[in-house]
Structure 1
Amino acid sequence: MDRATFIKFRNLIYEQSGINIEEKKETLLVSRICKRMRALGIELDDFKTYYKYLMEDKQGREIVELIDAVSTNVTHFFREPQHFDFLSIKVDEWLKQGKRKFRLWCAACSTGEEPYTVAMIMHERCSQYQSVDCKILATDICTKVLKKGEEAEYEEDKLDSVPLKYRQKYFKRIGKNGATKKVYGIIEPIKKMVTFARLNLATPPFPMSGPFDVIFIRNVMIYFDNAVRSALLNDAYRLMAKGGLLFVGHSESLAGLLNTELKRILPSVYTKE
């Protein structure tokens, strides 16, 4: 791929998703683009024809497919478990104070492991109380991972990070994938707590009305530049309830990006004062 064509693709992906592809990632980008070109029957060295195809696709279906191919989706249940320990403590406090309505948002939900972890935690904390209304919004830009999340079916090795008591309580075996691997499904009461929707985090303001008591924006801002990060955080702040929590990935620095009214209370955990 010549430099001018690489820059065209990089700019298009940035405009459509906020994903900032550095020059050192050119080889990775080319391999992802070739995946789409193979699917369409376009010659693998004819990148300009594929770009023209993208530009002429008035319904925008192919740009969605390209963003799906470019997106990195690494996740697992109970990832960064300290966050869920703190969430449990905070939810217990809220419940004891009489709070019975909870709204949570997992902003980059991938294949659903994060929102279902949140749902299991919330169910565990809230089940001893009556009339608790808890809903979790799970969003991602990638349509394929959203479909997987809605299916809520996971091969046995995906459950390795799930504590045994949660595995026994919130999963049921539903069959085998192929000849060997066992498949487990999330039980219906947990599935019903989570709503999946496509959302581009690079295009605030977002359509949700909020307020959210808890927002997870974890391990996604590393793919954005500071302009996109700042806009995303500002709109997340707008959507947070007073006293609400924001969780970000442990490897993500928010230095210079934070609204002054967001207070850091733990590493990678913030609250709205």
Structure 2
Amino acid sequence: MDIGPAEFRRISAYIYDELGIRLTDNKRTMLAGRLHKRLRELQLATVSDYCDYLFSPRGQQLEKIHLFNAVTTNKTDFFREPSHFDYLVGQVLPAWQRLGRRSFRVWSAGCSSGEEPYTLAMVLDDYARQHSDFVFEIIATDISTRVLDQAKQAVYHEERIAPVPMALRRRYLLRSRDRTSPLVRIVPELRRHVRFGRLNFMDEQFALPFVLDVIFCRNVIIYFDHPTQERLVQKFCRHLQPDGHLFLGHSESLHGYAVPLQQIAPTVYRHQPALAAV
């Protein structure tokens, strides 16, 4: 299946307007591959037919979710970039506790199939076992309903849990009663700490239930152009406590951005609202 230049421009412009993701011409083959299954399911012969359906009133109601599911990238792992979790436990949490705040609140922004928020839940619950007055809440969001459904199920193939330390596996993962099954599930006590919801980063206002102490948004903003990245990080700051922290992916940087954040470690930033006035 191929996508003609006109259809690619039409779909890619729509994706940019809706999701902020810019697809360059070298992504045509990738987009064709991801749409192939949808055309089969809809029994449509060409991408032109798909465009006609997508931009019809019915398609705008029913199909755009499937398009967003198809085009978003959902690469994640348990304990991905482990130095971030070491910094969280060793630096951020002790400093936060000294402030005497009531509940530690974290947002996994772009949570994919759940490995990141469940890693956070493991790390924070382990910390709470050593600090009896520590309580925490995690909200996890993604644009893709497909991966959110997977995250809510909290079921993973045993190959996926290889990065999880053995002590945490024993405490937080349940094996199937069928001992031949390669699947494990996050324990209910940990799942209760995580609230999942769908969120589009292009929304002007994020419907979040609380102001945050930490935002993990890792390996997400690389898919946006510079102006979209800057606007998104500015919106993050509106929901971040003063002295709260933003964690980005290893290849992401805010160098040169007009945002009230100070880099304090590789890809770790502290919210400094006073910088907005400088």
What secondary structure sits across from 1:249 in the alignment?
coil
What CA distance in whole angstroms lies between the structure 2 residues aligned with 1:181 and 1:232? 42
Identity over aligned pairs, percent: 39
Give the deviation of 1:175 after TM superposition. Answer: 4.9
- The 10-residue stretch of structure 1 (192-201 or 95-104) with the greater mean CA deviation from structure 2: 95-104
Superposition TM-score, scaled by structure 2 size: 0.91
Alignment partner of 2:35 out of 29, 33, 36: 33
Structure 2 counterpart of 1:113, which letter?
E
Q: Can you list the C-alpha shifts for 1:53-83, whole angstroms capped at 9, x where unaligned?
A: 0111265221110110111111000000000
1:22 aligns with 2:21: no
Tell me the equivalent position of 2:215.
Answer: 215
* One-letter identity of the residue aligned with 2:263: R
Contact 2:54 2:60 in 1 (8 A): no
Which secondary structure does the structure 2 equivalent of 1:127 belong to?
A: helix
1:189 CA displacement: 1.3
Task: Give me the whole-angstrom Cα distance separating, in 2, the residues matched to 1:146 and 1:30.
Answer: 24
Tell me how far apart the structure 2 counterparts of residues 97 and 55 of structure 1 sit (CA, whole Å).
51
**Gapped runs of 5+ residues in structure 1?**
none
Aligned to 2:71: 70
Secondary structure class of the residue paired with 2:207: coil
Indicate yes or no: 2:92 matched with 1:93: no
Between the aligned partners of 1:72 and 1:175, the Cα distance in structure 2 is: 33
Query: What is the Cα deviation at residue 253 of structure 1?
Result: 2.3
Structure 2 CA distance, aligned partners of 1:230 and 1:61?
31
Indicate if the aligned counterparts of 1:204 and 1:232 stay in contact, CA closer than 8 A.
Answer: no
Larger mean CA deviation between 56-65 and 103-112 belongs to 56-65
Which amino acid letter does the alignment assign opposite residue 213 of structure 1? D
- C-alpha contact (below 8 Å) 1:17/1:200 kept by paired residues: yes
Secondary structure of residue in 1 paired with 2:227: helix
The alpha-carbon deviation at position 96 of structure 1 amounts to 4.9
Q: Which amino acid aligns with 2:231?
A: A
Offset at 1:181?
A: 4.7
How many corresponding residue pairs? 268
Q: Distance in 2 between matches of 1:106 and 1:15?
A: 23
CA contact (8 A) 1:233 1:258 kept: no
Q: Partner of 1:246 in structure 2?
A: 246
| Residue aligned with 2:182, SS | strand
* 1:135 counterpart (137, 151, 170): 137
RMSD of aligned C-alpha atoms?
Answer: 1.7
Write out aligned runs for 1:103-118 (5 A): 103-118=105-120
Residue 95 of structure 1, CA deviation: 2.9
* SS in structure 2 at match of 1:233: helix
- Contact conserved, 1:153 with 1:184, CA < 8 A, in 2? yes
Cα deviations by residue, 1:164-192 (Å, 9 ceiling, x for unpaired): 1111111110256xx96511111111100
**1:3 aligned to 5, 8, 22, which one?**
5
Matched-pair contact (CA < 8 Å) for 1:263–1:270 = yes
Give how far 1:41 is off.
Answer: 0.9
- Given that 1:140 and 1:146 are in contact with CA atoms closer than 8 Å, whether structure 2 keeps it comes out as yes
229 and 239 in structure 1: CA distance in 2 versus 1, 3 angstrom threshold: same
**Residues 264 and 254 (structure 1), Cα distance of their counterparts in 2 relative to 1, 3 Å cut:** same
Please give the alpha-carbon distance, in whole angstroms, between the structure 2 residues aligned to 1:8 and 1:82: 41
CA gap of 1:76–1:133, structure 2 versus 1, over 3 A, is same
- Deviations 1:221-255 (CA, angstroms, capped at 9, x unpaired): 11111122111100101110011110000101222
**Please, which runs of 5 or more residues in structure 2 have no aligned partner?**
273-278
Q: CA offsets, 1:11-49, max 9 Å, x none?
A: 111112111111111100111122211111111xx1111
Structural mapping, 1:112-261, within 5 Å? 112-130=114-132, 132-175=134-177, 181-208=181-208, 210-259=210-259, 261=260
One-letter identity of the residue aligned with 2:82: P
Deviation at residue 257 of structure 1 after TM alignment: 2.4
Q: CA deviation at 1:126?
A: 1.5
5-14 vs 121-130, greater mean Cα deviation: 121-130
